[in-house]
Chains A and B, each alone.
Chain A
Amino acid sequence: MVRILIIEDEEDFRDILRQTLEPAGYRLLFAESGPKGLESLSKNQADLVVLDVNLPGKNGYEVCRAIRANPEWSNLPVLMLTIRNRDAEIVRGLDAGADDYLTKPFDPEEILARLRKLLVHEK
């Protein structure tokens, strides 16, 4: 079963992601802050990370760079969630090593399609 780590501080979005991704057969892990996300990643094996940009502790860009800096996770797919299609934010996210991005609010079908694509690429 594919395991997805969701690093997101807002409860509503964790909930929306749960309702969207669990019925599609993914196993979800949740973290509410940047440091907790990295901790969870080292403890549990995850196949993909969904990463919010505005996070307490460490922001999404920093978390993404930390993930990329670890050779173990260099190929781990990361999907960034930004609050809007601000070009600068998207560019920063991709520069930090994210594989794809999505803006909040997102369409359930779209996030599922993007996850499928990222997971296929990984294999």
Chain B
Amino acid sequence: MKLQDNLALLPTAAVAVVLEFGALASYASFHEANGFLRLRGDLFLLAAQGYVIVACILVYFWGVYWTEPFGDIFEGIAAFGRGNFAHRIRRSKVRELDELAGHLNQMSDRLREVDQLKSDLISNVSHELRSPLAAMEGYIALLLRQAPDPSQTRENLLKIGGNITRLRRLVENLLDLSKIESQGTSLHLERVKALDIVHETCFLFETALKNKNLSLTIDCPEGIPDTKADPAKLRQIMTNLLDNAIKYNRLSGFVKISAFSGRAEPRIVTLSIQDSGCGILPEHMPHLFERFRRLPGSANAPEVKGTGLGLAISLELARSMGGDIQVESRPENGSVFSLILPAWEGD
């Protein structure tokens, strides 16, 4: 029973008190008119006051009796809404409410089952798809060795290969997602120099940067604290963010990575990745981190291909480490993705 529920009962009690006193006053004045009954009237007034107090107490408990199970039910529905299907609504003494709680719990069991089935299905199907797709890519690579360059055959093979690679990446991303969902991923938080990971990741994108003639600057002032993170997860997030910064960039643009850390406690480290790409329209912002959401290409990046899972995975990974990802963007003015991580505390 919460305080505000108690307060909510006060008006009810007040109304009861006013009504009782009203009835009492008219009764008393009636007796007064009859003179000799005055003493008995006083006695009656006393008894009536006691009656009013008892009534108030009864009203209070009656209110508690009815509102408490409702509170539990609301709390339960809110928990289910948040996806917490393990939550259980307490059974109530009121028969109807008890039944309602029972049905809601049952519904949540069923939802949990369906949710699990979905995760298992995605995970199993993805596992099964991965190998044949990799084999197909292998065969394409073999065929490409035999196809004369240049030739239509070679071009066609490259296109098939590109499509298969895309499918395989999608499947891999799905597996990553289902892993995050099923076990909250096994985290290995340790002391990590975020800048090391940044350098490692940038190294992987050297060719991609060169292909688009993009300049890369890494700006990391002295005294940035180490972060508390899982290096593998951090690498995955950086890969996704950098991949986007390159994919959606214009030719001969720039990518700028900077690290900074405020004075506020608890200390955090922010890694921001700025690009000179097409930016994100305000109406697309709310959907940016949704799964399978791919923003319509702009003039700069009409050909961009992806799975629409990269940012969703990155955000989940960042949150699992106690961090976050924030975005600022203006259309045609590039975007800044900021990865926020907790700083390493202690030695």
Residues of A bordering B, CB below 8 Å? 10, 12-13, 16, 19-20, 83-84, 86-88, 104-108
Contacts and interface: CB of A to CB of B under 8 A. Distances in A.
Interface in B222-246: 231-232, 235
Contact of A83 (B130, B232, B235): B130
B16 to A, nearest CB: 67
B135 A12 contact: yes
A71 B130 CA distance: 36
A105 B130 contact: no
A16 B135 CA distance: 8
Interface stretch (B32-40, B139-147, B326-334): B139-147
A51 to B, nearest CB: 16
B131 A83 contact: yes
Report whether over half of chain B's contact residues are helix, strand or loop; otherwise say mixed. Answer: helix
Contact of A87 (B130, B134, B135, B232): B232
Given A10-B131, A83-B131, A83-B134, A16 B139 contact: yes
A13 B138 contact: yes
Contacts of A107: 141
A86 B185 CA distance: 14
Contacts of A84: 130, 172
B132 interface: yes
Contact of B138 (A86, A88, A105): A105
B136 to A, nearest CB: 8
Contact of A104 (B138, B142, B231, B235): B138
Contacts of B134: 13, 83, 104-105
